[in-house]
Amino acid sequence: MHFIETLFDLKTGDFSKVIFGLLTNLLLAIVIAVVGFWLTGVLTRLVNRILRKSETDPGLISFLTSFLSMALKIMVSITAITQLGVEMTSFLTLLGAAGIAVGMAFSGTLSNFAGGIMILVLKPFKVGDDIEALGEQGVVSEIQIFNTYLKTADNKILVHPNGPLANGTIVNFTKEKTRRIEWTFVFEQSVQISQIQEVILASLASDKRILHKPEPLVGVQQLNASGLHMQVHCWVKTADYGTVFHQGQQALIEALYAHALPFAKS
């Protein structure tokens, strides 16, 4: 220790004071970081509970809590670094210079952040909506700062970056209260159109889930060498779409078979 003091022209005992000061600042910085990150978690969970009780949009809750968590962690990190003796002016200058380089490298990340803001403001979808975007379909489970999470029908999780998502085409299947179901059946050319219409409309009328307004429609789509193409339209509540599509189609096929109406042979 005496050798080090002599080497750096320090007074006797100064080296011990320097080491003690560094260790003290290091310990305080660690305490600030640990306590700060713990308080960040507590505050984030508290804000989350308050927003949920106020019936705020779940997508906005997810976005705000993740943004709050990130902002508080940055503040805690800066405070801990300052405690180590790094001057804020020099640190902010360095941070600004690094920010330019990082901003250029992560321009896509900034685009995703802006996309998240656009999604929350314009509301093309919300948590719980069934959407198709970027070539994939799923139910929105989370809207975070940079990404939106979708859960597919086979229970996979899709992570879409908010930038391309906000700027791309989005099909929202559940935004409206009702949806139209379409079926197409191909019959032999000799079959009577009026009989097909009568059987199909009777089958649709027996299903209470099918709405009467707008009325179901059964019409000729086309007549060609493959047969008579009949298209069926009916409206249902959005929540009933999946079950009615499959069960209703089965009921129609069984009714057509029961009345011996011949389907075209491929």
Same domain, 63 and 151: no
pLDDT class of 99 with cuts at 50, 70, 90 = low
Q: Is the dihedral of CA 205, 209, 215, 219 positive or negative?
A: negative
pLDDT tens digits, one per residue of 227-262: 999 999 999 999 999 999 999 999 999 999 999 999
Q: Whole-angstrom Cα distance, residue 44 to residue 52?
A: 12
Q: Which domain holds residue 10?
A: 2-105
The verdict on residue 115 lying in a domain is no
Of 156, 172, 188, which closes a domain?
172
* Same domain flag for 141 and 89: no
Same domain for 166 and 200?
Answer: no
Quick one: 189 and 250 in the same domain? yes
Query: CA 205, CA 216: separation in Å to the nearest integer?
Result: 9
Alpha-carbon distance of 102 to 215, in angstroms, equals 58
What's the mean per-residue pLDDT of the chain? 84
Q: What is the CATH number of the domain that holds 35?
A: 1.10.287.1260
Quick one: angle between helices 107-122 and 88-105, nearest 10?
A: 80
The answer to whether residue 221 is domain-embedded is: yes
pLDDT for residue 202 is more than 60: yes
Strand order in the sheet with 217-224: 178-187, 227-237, 217-224
Query: Residues 48, 69: one domain?
Result: yes
Residues 147 and 68 in one domain: no
Which domain-ending residue is among 130, 149, 172? 172
Residue 111 belongs to some domain of the structure:
no
239 to 32, 180, 209: CA distances (angstroms): 50, 12, 10
Q: Is residue 112 part of a domain?
A: no
**Maximum CA extent, the chain:** 113
Q: Which two tokens mark 43?
A: 């505050």
110 part of a folded domain: no
Left (φ > 0), alpha (ψ -120 to 50) or beta: where does 88 sit? alpha
C-alpha–C-alpha distance, residues 228 and 206, integer Å: 25
Structural domains counted in the chain: 3
Strand partners, 132: 137, 171
Q: pTM of the prediction? A: 0.62
Q: What are the φ and ψ backbone dihedral angles of 205, each rounded to 5 degrees?
A: -65, -25
114 located within any domain:
no
* pLDDT 10s digits, 42-91: 888 888 888 777 766 777 777 778 878 888 888 888 788 777 776 666 55
Least Cα distance to 58 among 5, 13, 123 occurs for: 123
What CATH code is carried by the domain that includes residue 215?
A: 3.30.70.100
Asked if the structure places residue 84 within a domain, the reply is yes
Distance (Å, whole) CA 264 – CA 185: 9
The residue written with tokens 């069960």 in the block is 247
17 within a domain of the structure (yes/no)? yes
